[in-house]
Structure 1
Amino acid sequence: MCTPKELKSTGNFTMMIDGVLYPGVIKEKEVAQQQYQKAVSRGQTAGLVKASGRKTEKFSVSVNIAAASKVTFELTYEELLKRSFGKYEMFIKVNPKQLVNKFEIDVRIFEPQGISDLEAEGTFISNELLPVVKKSFSGKKGHVSFSPTIDQQRTCDNCTTSLLQGDFIIKYDVNRDSPSNFQMINGYFVHFFAPKNLTHLPKNVAFVIDVSGSMYGRKIAQTREALIKIVEDLKEPDHFNLILFESLVSTWKSSLVQATPENVNEAKQFIETITDKGTTNLHDGLLTGIEMLNRAHQNGTVSARSASLIIMLTDGRPDGNLERIYNTARNTIQGKYPLYNLGFGYDLDYGFLDKLAKENNGLARRIYEDSDSALQLQGFYDEVANPLLTEVTLQYPENAISDVTQNSFKHFYDGSEIVVAGRITDNDVNFITAEVNGHGAFEDLTFSEQADVEETAKALEDQKYIFGDYIERLWAYLTIQQLLEKRATTTGYEKSNLTAKKPWKCL
């Protein structure tokens, strides 16, 4: 029988109610909701955990228990930290809503490459609380702790309200003597790739902006604010243009232009005049941006060694047939550059934006309607502002490796990281070699890395409390994530086939 290996630390939830242990089981959300409601209607003890959130995973627990019962929740959660701007970041949302007798954040970090720097800060940390934040690192280990007393938590002397409300943020990076790092144990490997000291590629950006009537007020003001800062950050070798869509489509220039100081200043003046009106003709707006990039490449007005991308911002549901938009984007981009979709606000078809982006080598991101929306827009742009490589491929020996996760990428950006995992099928293999190829600013680049299977696995044996079968779980996580992304862009038999796939081995 083919069953998944136990993935306890990926999502293990238990409830201890009056001394009785209730273990959690992972279900599809619709099935879980139905089973929970059915149990509640019968008066049975039940619990339901949901995850959501912006920068963090927010877990909410719904329970049905008898009055005066004592309940203890235990949730173990595991995630792959994303590297951006040269740091791994962990966000811990702090909001106990009351004074807590024993409040503690205790973070222990182990990195086989060694930790190069470690920061810890909180949006709610006052000068009085600063000494309570403890951090240290040496070699492969790091430690952060925060344990304020009840008096330190108070908003004022004798107050019962808590200062602890906001984000507690931990940032760190590792030593990088080479562009690559391998971790291997129990027949699985993970390959982290993050080269440094490479020259930035020029970039060509088509900004496709929704200025329909629903962008009225704060949204259009924040869009103008973010766009002005973004064009100010363009470098002179870059090329760009601004495409606005509502019922009609208008452009700042008829083609991409170089980001000279004169053009940047003129673009800022144009952005100041942007107003909202009309409906949401996303199809023609996106098509105009794509064709503008296509013409720039065909005419040779942009460098062959440059990174082209489309950044589209919209807050609504597009007019017209969605399939027409999918087909137009796919047929005109033809896989040449990524499309990044930023969904502004809550009343939008985010599933459409997500599928459209993934079909075209990009991703979608929600921009929340908060006071910092302009910073969110600029923050996303900063992530893709400094491309280092295009057409990146990572190759491994076919006779020793199988079931490799995504190993080709349109762009690699400064401060980020590529993560690839796979299974080691040859038990007698001594070395794993990875060859990474990509187009750089001046020439095509090749990076080769060889890792000793036995030595690499041995280096992790002493850290079983962290690793164990962690790499297998990471491989399963990446595989499932990528299957779900493919499933979201397919229909019919292919979708059913992807749903039926099981990225785990038979036990």
Structure 2
Amino acid sequence: MEQFTIHLTIGPRTKSMFRLTYEDVLKRKLMQYDIDIKVKPKQLVHHFEIDVDIFEPQGIRKLDVQTSFLPKELAAQLIKKSFSGKKGQVLFRPTVGQQQSCPTCSTTLLDGEFKVTYDVNRDKICDLLVANNYFAHFFAPQNLTNLNKNLVFVIDISNSMEGQKVKQTKEALLKILEDVRPEDYFDLVLFGSQVQSWRGSLVPASAANLQAAQDFVRSFSLAGATNLNGGLLLGIDILNKGQRSNPELSNHAPILIMLTDGEPTEGETDRTQILKNVRSAIGGKFPLYNLGFGHNVDFSFLEVMSMENNGRAQRIYEDHDATQQLQGFYNQVATPLLVDVELQYPKDTVSELTQHSHKQYYEGSEIVVAGRIADQKLSSFKADVRAHADGREFKTTCLVDEEEMKKLLQERGHMLENHVERLWAYLTVQELLAKRMKLEGPEKAKLMAKALQMSLAYQFVTPLTSMTMRGLVDEDGLEPVIDKSTVAFVLPASQQPTGSSVPVGPITTVDSDPHFIIHVPQKEDALCFNINEEPGVVLNLVQDPNTGFSVNGQLIGDKARRPGQHEGTYFGRLGIANPVTDFQLEVTPQNITLNPGSHGPVFSWRDQASLRQDGVMMTINRKRNLVVSVEDGGTFEVVLHRVWKGSAIHQAFLGFYVLDSHRMSARTHGLLGTTHQAGRTVRMGR
């Protein structure tokens, strides 16, 4: 769940309205789409309502609502739901009396989850939407025969799993084993300091074997450290041998599921080597699903591992019903219908495709592919699907329903065109963000720059961008750059932007006709000096040899020199680089460019924006300042000094401040780095 917080002070007898407009891609799971609404008003509300309007081109097949806070009888009375054809609606408008937890109480019943679930008609094996030179392909075939599975569960039994974690894990495994079908084969692997398996090979899911496996689960105890590498390799070996040695099992869908709560601490502990070992052992033959239990798990490591092996990772929260989360995940992959799924499109007309090959397709899910098309002739556009089902080849061709598309465009017009393009952009950004986790160096920087550029262009909230809510008018009377009804990108509530343009307290700084004022704490005094250089000269301000972090500034001069006066010089360009994270930033009084060497996105000083890039947070506070925070490096501010536009002499320039330098190494040097090394600080003065 994403959580956004906003604080506002309003006067007495005044009203304030908060409007949050956002889009969210719904993913089909277990034969339905879920719309989750958290309801926590924490008080009785005189006018409370939830209205959900649904439009689906394929037509709505079912619509339901569940709440965690209303008794079934009261929910049936208060919640109105209806659907017909392409439209559905849910209404929930309780009065104050209906919200009360008891007739005389001032507390509310409304505290929990309001979940709307629905699904669409599946008359066709797939649907193609084409609009404005973009297409979206939805593939969710029905009435296919379930594939038998080869299942191996790899379970962490290190000492860190003690208490509630191991209790919930055992409960989930016992329930999952009850759901394993007799036609499936399975085994269990446990890893602590040592690695062991229940049977050492795949065995049929007979009643006797399932009972023995449940007894094994009830009886195992925790032991030692975390030999994650050894546990995974044993699980992979059991699946590989089973597929090779038994011809019957070669047509089954193999699935490997690992659950762990920590980091590798026994056996092979180098993450890069573990990834290489697992990738080599699986060899692209089956998916690996990783479940990360609790807050201490290295989840990004599990994500990369799953991604490299055609699976996905999911975090399991122990504060919630972990047993239900574990069983819910298994239910999503419990019924494979197809393997080696390939969705193919005309090569000469399609470009910039999102992921169109999948190792397995599961019952109740949906494969979505989007892309750009050069020729929008609906009659010539098609999608060919190739896969395998129970040892047989599966083939189908999807065509565009031209009459239906014309009706949709008449009904929804621009909304449908916008939706198809934004879906393509969203899927593309998600895939770029996933790929970056596997890369390093220039390739990673290039992917991140493209993901950031698209996130900003389409106004997506991503790990590189965050969300802010702003008023209708800025302090200078100008309208916001981004319309008030859309999402902008700045800091989350826990990290408020720096408000003042001139920092308070002793800080390291260089500004105006570049001069320094060095604060000497021991003497409660300051040492001032200027740098007299010509325009165009580049000064090294900060250089940390331990990390490679550096800041350089290039001087500019006045537009014209007054007769008999010294020509003023100022900083007209600043370069900030952090090689450890491939972060580069070029700042001028006109623009802020991220990773200029790889054609990264360009921001204006009129933007209000924030982004993250591997340990670096950058925040632009519109027309005021830029704050850059580097993990293990420090916090820096660039201030924009503007001058009157009609000035024939002066021009806009930059000031640079070191707000926090305690994490910089003692070897740091440069005009400002030297003051850090000497244990002194500098602040602005004239």
Q: Using the TM superposition, give the Cα deviation of residue 368 of structure 1 relative to its aligned residue in structure 2, in angstroms.
A: 1.0
Task: Please give the root-mean-square deviation of Cα atoms over the aligned residues, in Å.
Answer: 2.1
Q: Using the TM superposition, give the Cα deviation of residue 89 of structure 1 relative to its aligned residue in structure 2, in angstroms.
A: 1.3
**Contact preservation (8 Å) 1:133, 1:146:** yes
**Contact preservation (8 Å) 2:429, 2:455:** no
Match of 1:103 among 48, 53, 56: 48
Q: 1:504 to 1:105 in 2, by over 3 A?
A: closer
Q: Work out whether 1:374 is the aligned partner of 2:323.
A: yes
Q: Using the TM superposition, give the Cα deviation of residue 370 of structure 1 relative to its aligned residue in structure 2, in angstroms.
A: 3.2
- Which residue does 1:163 correspond to in 2? 109
Q: 1:243 to 1:226 in 2, by over 3 A?
A: same
**Contact preservation (8 Å) 1:112, 1:460:** no
- Report the residue type matching 1:283 in the other structure: N
SS of aligned partner of 2:338: strand
Q: Distance in 2 between matches of 1:150 and 1:468?
A: 41
Q: Distance in 1 between matches of 2:159 and 2:455?
A: 49
Query: Where does 1:10-409 land on structure 2 (aligned, <5 Å)?
Result: 53=1, 58-63=2-7, 71-126=16-71, 127-300=73-246, 302-319=248-265, 320-370=269-319, 372-409=321-358
Q: 1:428 to 1:181 in 2, by over 3 A?
A: closer
Q: Which moved more, 1:422-431 or 1:370-379?
A: 422-431
Q: Deviations over 1:180-218 (max 9, x none)?
A: 011222221111101111111111111000000011111
**Contact preservation (8 Å) 1:104, 1:148:** yes
**Contact preservation (8 Å) 1:293, 1:308:** yes
Give 1 or 2 for the bigger CA radius of gyration.
2
Q: Deviations over 1:111-155 (max 9, x none)?
A: 111111111121112223421100001111101110101110010
Q: Distance in 2 between matches of 1:137 and 1:101?
A: 28
**Contact preservation (8 Å) 2:378, 2:400:** no
Q: Which has the higher contact order (CA 8 A, sep 6+)?
A: 1
- Which residue does 1:3 correspond to in 2? none
Q: Distance in 1 between matches of 2:158 and 2:199?
A: 20
Q: Using the TM superposition, give the Cα deviation of residue 452 of structure 1 relative to its aligned residue in structure 2, in angstroms.
A: 4.3
- Report the residue type matching 2:365 in the other structure: S
SS of aligned partner of 2:290: strand
Q: Work out whether 1:424 is the aligned partner of 2:373.
A: yes
**Contact preservation (8 Å) 2:130, 2:378:** no
- Report the residue type matching 2:41 in the other structure: P
Q: 1:249 to 1:121 in 2, by over 3 A?
A: same
SS of aligned partner of 1:190: strand
**Contact preservation (8 Å) 2:259, 2:293:** yes
Q: Which moved more, 1:487-496 or 1:459-468?
A: 459-468
Q: Distance in 2 between matches of 1:489 and 1:288?
A: 24
**Contact preservation (8 Å) 1:431, 1:452:** no
Q: Using the TM superposition, give the Cα deviation of residue 498 of structure 1 relative to its aligned residue in structure 2, in angstroms.
A: 1.2
Query: What TM-score results when the alignment is normalised by the length of structure 1?
Result: 0.85
Q: Using the TM superposition, give the Cα deviation of residue 454 of structure 1 relative to its aligned residue in structure 2, in angstroms.
A: 7.0
Query: What TM-score results when the alignment is normalised by the length of structure 2?
Result: 0.63
Q: Distance in 2 between matches of 1:103 and 1:445?
A: 51
Percent identity between the two aligned chains:
47
- Which residue does 1:469 correspond to in 2? 418
Q: Distance in 2 between matches of 1:301 and 1:352?
A: 34
Q: 1:378 to 1:427 in 2, by over 3 A?
A: closer
Which runs of no fewer than 5 residues in structure 2 stay unpaired?
A: 459-686
Q: Which moved more, 1:239-248 or 1:363-372?
A: 363-372
Q: Which moved more, 1:171-180 or 1:466-475?
A: 466-475
Q: Distance in 2 between matches of 1:504 and 1:451?
A: 29
Q: Using the TM superposition, give the Cα deviation of residue 375 of structure 1 relative to its aligned residue in structure 2, in angstroms.
A: 1.3
Q: Distance in 2 between matches of 1:330 and 1:275?
A: 30
SS of aligned partner of 2:144: coil
Paired residues in the alignment total: 451
- Report the residue type matching 1:180 in the other structure: C
Q: Distance in 2 between matches of 1:361 and 1:405?
A: 15
Q: 1:458 to 1:395 in 2, by over 3 A?
A: same
- Report the residue type matching 1:190 in the other structure: A
Q: 1:495 to 1:456 in 2, by over 3 A?
A: same
